[in-house]
């Protein structure tokens, strides 16, 4: 149970940082967790395709690529939905 809570916290932090990088600052906790998980999937796929290994892991979660994947995902969603960045 503690491992799952740690996973949620890490996903939330990665999703929040990814949203900030993409220019969106008002994401809720649940949204940040979802962004973190999706970002981990996208980031892991990108790192595998590019042949670049992650250098920061925490509980087998690729932190750097989760943040990059989250930023890419939220930027694509923002572009497709037509939402403007928040300042």
Q: Mind listing the pLDDT tens digit for each residue in 50-66? A: 888 777 777 777 788 88
The mean pLDDT of 42-47, rounded to a whole number, is 85
Residues 6+ apart with CB under 8 A from 15: 27, 31, 32, 33, 34, 35, 36, 37, 39, 70
Please give the average per-residue pLDDT across 29-43, as a whole number. Answer: 83
């Amino acid at each position: 149970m503690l491992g799952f809570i740690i996973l949620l916290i890490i996903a939330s932090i990665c999703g929040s940082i990814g949203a900030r990088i993409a220019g969106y600052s008002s994401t809720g906790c649940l949204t940040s967790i979802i962004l973190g998980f999706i970002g981990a999937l996208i980031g892991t796929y990108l790192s595998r395709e590019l042949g670049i290994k992650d250098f920061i892991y925490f509980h087998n979660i690729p932190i750097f690529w989760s943040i990059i994947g989250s930023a890419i995902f939220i930027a694509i969603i923002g572009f497709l939905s037509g939402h403007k960045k928040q300042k």
